[in-house]
Structure 1
Amino acid sequence: MRQAGHVLGWAPGKVPTAHPDSLSWPLAPGTDLVLQLHLLPGDEPVPVRPQVGLYYAKTPATVEPVAVVLNSLTIDIPAGATAHVVRDRYRLPVAVDLLSVYPHAHYLARQVEATATLPDGSERTLIRIDDWDYNWQDEYRYLQPLHLPAGTEVEMRYTYDNSAANPRNPHHPPQSVRFGPKATDEMAQLMMQVLTARSGDRDVLTQNLVLKATRDEIVGYQARVRSDPSDHVSRTALAARYLQVGSVEAALAELREAIQLAPQFPDAQYNLGAALLARGAKTDAIAAYRRAIELNADYAEAHNNLGVVLESMGDRATAVTHYERAIHIQPHQAGAHYNLANVRLADGAVADAVAHYRQALASEPAHAEARAKLADALTRLGQRGEAVAEYRRALDLNPRLGSALVDFAWLLATAPESTLRNTVEALALARRAMQVVGADHPAVLDTLAAAYASDGRFPLAIETARRAAARAGALPEFEPRAAQIEQRLRLYMAHQLYRMPD
């Protein structure tokens, strides 16, 4: 498992690894620790007594590493092959400092090697093991971090011996071996723990790695489908990955094949709904989600997604029933709690909305939008101090979340409590919102005007409020706000501040 850039797992031979406090692993309140074991049935009962040791840092982490993973999901080693090579490459989009490497393979691997080719053409060996032993695996940490500039190409090259001459070969006689989780299958993986050279580059790297992982899975599922065209499960999984990269038509083609092969497979219908929705065919998407629910009445994700589509088409009452059904099936379904909270907030049931936002965040603490919405709801309830904390958490999670930038700036500029107002920060947030949301957006201009007024800069407040009123008046959806902006403009012209109602 890889959590926040840490490799959390055990394989034969691995010993405990000591990390400095600066690299400690933060555990948020309410975190569930799940131990997953890979076991196979045997002839006799065997006691299993796993133990996990947690060692606490004296000081909080100051840096957050990233796990860069090279692997191959298309391994297919012919029987008798003595030097079958498996490769994977990755070009670093940003500069990093490499802290450790952790290679992983099974019994047929004989040589494990990883190199880095720098932009100047020079090559560095990251690790080389000439006699790989499945029973002695470990993470290897460098005495000093190895700096790898942006544009460095990292490559793994694993060599496998699937012949009878390999004493560790689990198959007698040798047989074709493919990728898989069992020890008698094979794997090729290299996990690298890195720190980005610039803190702002972490998001760039993680987003690029998500794309790489999705593409790796696409190639892997394509190989499975080629091997077994009747594998409807792999076709469905392949379609889901196609959707992740925006290949809607390719996804639809795979799903139609999967449904033809297995008409009663609910996952295919569920993903068909997502693909049709991506194409804009809402009515057909509803039919697909309903079919998935017919096949599996307890399909919580299908209920939630069906609710989203129904709500977008104006059928909020039926949408709510599906959100509630999803929560009944899976009480910790973050998406359904979030969607139901949005409906409750729009209906004015603010306290109920707060309860559902909190439920969503209990299951998904990194849900930035839910934190921003919770802050909005808390503000409406007058719990502005807690709202400030939630806005900060939301923007820590997503510094470019437009709604949080605008609403937090508004709160800091117009809060009745002097202890909460922060004009300097409100102005900074409003200017960031101009970059993210738009320099001519009525809400952004209205917020910026309030911040200028709070800072005593009334000429700028008046000028900005006039621009906000003009923009709001030109957009039908902002007509109600245009009248409110005009009221605030009159206050600024009288050198009076606007304060949100207490």
Structure 2
Amino acid sequence: MNHSPLFTALQAKRGRMAIGLFVLAFIFPLPPAAQAQSERASASVRVSDATNGLPLDRVKLELLKFPSGIVQMTFSDGAGRAEFPDLLIQSYSIRATRDGYVTSETALDVRRGDRTLHVSIVLQPERREQPSAPGGLVSAKSLAASQEARDEFAKGLSLLNEKKDARGSIALLQHAIELAPQFYDAHVVLGLAHLQLQALDDAEKSLTRALELEPKLLQPYHPLATILITRRRFEEAEKLLLRALELDPKGWQWPFELARSQAMQRNWEQAIVHGKQALAAANVPTKIHLLMADIYSNAGHVDLAAAELDEFERLDPQSPYMPKVRAARAQLKKPTP
């Protein structure tokens, strides 16, 4: 049994021990060492235009791991294709962004035995009379970068995503920024590279700079907020998340992180408020039910906690989290002495 204080059960109001699912599932994702190399998979993505079926190039594709944020980023080629290699057995989503199109987010579940998954993403052109969503905007500062800076950025991005060489990518990304100091995308990806290496100071610096350059673009908000929450700088994180929520009022990740921040401060009732807001959003990942189960358990709402675990199993019965979910539910449903 792991004796880290993060795994310590908290006393629930009905005299029952809380489960600690929140910490298990969301602060410590499944460790890579627990899955053999033979259990890795890759995703082959094709992006096309919804109106004519033609492939779309230069689509920014972000692989998101709930709730950690962006774990890989790449761009579609001239055939509208891209690859995400070296995927663990777990749930992801892919966010597709291109100027002039409505941003799309597609679920990607990697199951045991999967080798290559094929994902088709169809983007709808924006109606020009409507304003673009913040997540679909493209940085003018990135577009203004020199070709030499873009080439260095592309090399760094390839090292980070395809070669899994975060350390090697940093020098190339830094050089791209030297050539184009306002290269927004380079600052974002540099922050993600530092984050992969757990260099939180450097990651925070790069993501903060990206946010200063383009405060209306959403990409830096989530990884930066998770860094601040990890460092228990809750007030700063929550201010950041509220700004993101203003830009993207339909996004589930902002109220989710607000709930997580409040839960880490043991403000259970306020965490419930934000958690319900996240649940009401579209395309919310199933794992939010694990967070809500933990919050309800710690708040003493044991029946509601068990119901959230039931709902998670209904929606995602093949999840790698199911053994922990069943054990937690059995403990919750034990008769009170």
Runs of at least 5 residues in structure 2 that lack an aligned partner in the other structure:
1-47, 57-75, 80-108, 122-145
1:372 deviation in Å?
0.6
* Other-structure match for 2:186: 268
1:208 deviation in Å?
3.2
* Other-structure match for 1:411: 332
Give distance in 2, aligned partners of 1:321 and 1:208: 40
Of the three residues 307, 310, 323, the one matched with 1:392 is 310
Deviations for 1:205-241, whole angstroms, at most 9, x for unmatched residues? 6673279x9xxxxxxxxxxxxxxx9265576466556
Give distance in 1, aligned partners of 2:208 and 2:260: 23
Give distance in 2, aligned partners of 1:381 and 1:266: 42
**Shift in alpha-carbon separation, 1:255–1:319, aligned structure 2, 3 A:** same
* Other-structure match for 2:111: 203
1:209 alignment partner, SS class: strand
Listed as ranges, the matches of 1:145-160 within 5 Å are: none
Give me the TM-score of the superposition, normalised by structure 1: 0.36
Contact 2:252 2:284 in 1 (8 A): no
1:403 deviation in Å?
5.2
* Other-structure match for 1:325: 243
Of the three residues 237, 242, 262, the one matched with 1:344 is 262
1:294 aligns with 2:215: no
Contact 2:271 2:295 in 1 (8 A): yes
1:281 aligns with 2:202: no
* Other-structure match for 2:106: none
Q: Which amino acid letter does the alignment assign opposite residue 245 of structure 2?
A: I
Contact 1:388 1:408 in 2 (8 A): yes
**Shift in alpha-carbon separation, 1:300–1:261, aligned structure 2, 3 A:** same
Give distance in 1, aligned partners of 2:278 and 2:248: 12
1:367 alignment partner, SS class: coil
2:116 alignment partner, SS class: helix
Q: Which amino acid letter does the alignment assign opposite residue 273 of structure 1?
A: G
**Shift in alpha-carbon separation, 1:259–1:373, aligned structure 2, 3 A:** same
Contact 2:289 2:312 in 1 (8 A): yes
* Other-structure match for 2:147: 230
More relative contact order, 1 or 2 (CA 8 Å, 6+ apart): 2
* Other-structure match for 1:248: 166
1:264 deviation in Å?
0.9
1:408 alignment partner, SS class: helix
Of the three residues 273, 278, 287, the one matched with 1:360 is 278
**Shift in alpha-carbon separation, 1:413–1:306, aligned structure 2, 3 A:** same
* Farther-moved stretch of structure 1 (383-392 vs 370-379): 383-392
Give me the TM-score of the superposition, normalised by structure 2: 0.52
Of the three residues 312, 316, 332, the one matched with 2:230 is 312
* Other-structure match for 1:259: 177
Give distance in 1, aligned partners of 2:151 and 2:281: 28
Q: CA RMSD in A?
A: 4.0
1:373 aligns with 2:291: yes
Contact 1:292 1:299 in 2 (8 A): no
Contact 1:376 1:407 in 2 (8 A): no
**Shift in alpha-carbon separation, 1:307–1:11, aligned structure 2, 3 A:** closer
Contact 2:156 2:169 in 1 (8 A): yes
1:300 alignment partner, SS class: coil
1:202 deviation in Å?
7.4
Deviations for 1:247-282, whole angstroms, at most 9, x for unmatched residues? 313432442243234321222111111101111211
Contact 1:372 1:403 in 2 (8 A): no
Give distance in 2, aligned partners of 1:351 and 1:207: 43
Contact 2:229 2:261 in 1 (8 A): no
Contact 2:290 2:309 in 1 (8 A): yes
Contact 1:236 1:258 in 2 (8 A): yes
**Shift in alpha-carbon separation, 1:347–1:279, aligned structure 2, 3 A:** closer
Listed as ranges, the matches of 1:156-175 within 5 Å are: none
1:294 deviation in Å?
1.2
**Shift in alpha-carbon separation, 1:237–1:360, aligned structure 2, 3 A:** farther
**Shift in alpha-carbon separation, 1:386–1:240, aligned structure 2, 3 A:** farther
Runs of at least 5 residues in structure 1 that lack an aligned partner in the other structure:
1-6, 13-35, 39-71, 76-200, 214-228, 417-497
* Other-structure match for 1:169: none
Give distance in 1, aligned partners of 2:51 and 2:273: 39
Contact 2:255 2:274 in 1 (8 A): yes
1:374 deviation in Å?
0.9
Give distance in 2, aligned partners of 1:403 and 1:356: 24
1:333 deviation in Å?
3.1
* Other-structure match for 1:419: none
